[in-house]
Structure 1
């Protein structure tokens, strides 16, 4: 091959490599931005999770029993007082 042809091929190759490097830089910038957004979102979710009770935390539930125990076994018509 002649030197001119080799130089043209090398310049063409260098231009392609330069274009690839630039596109990779752009993609890296985009990924860094997305990564920072994801980290911020994770931090927000972690703070919310600390504020709300989880299943592992004890939650006390009080069950209010009716004042009257109804004997439904032997009654044909049972009247239940309305709660509301």
Structure 2
């Protein structure tokens, strides 16, 4: 699942929006009831990453969340220039 920066820009609270989208996606995978601590940890992490992208880098260009064999990968591309 990928959420674009343009999609995030439509929401006053991007971290809350991403948290809800990810929660729905994890529920669709059947994780909502069986692993509530796991899901809450994932939601906290994604919320913090998005908040940090907005607070320290001016925003997020995209957010990708993937699930494979029990592992969730969260990637946030921010708008800050690369540092050398």
Interval containing the TM-score (normalised by the shorter chain): under 0.3
| TM-score, scaled relative to structure 2 | 0.27
| TM-score, scaled relative to structure 1 | 0.27
Q: Give 1 or 2 for the bigger CA radius of gyration.
A: 1
Higher relative contact order (CA 8 A, sep 6+): 2
- Whose strand proportion is higher, 1 or 2? 2
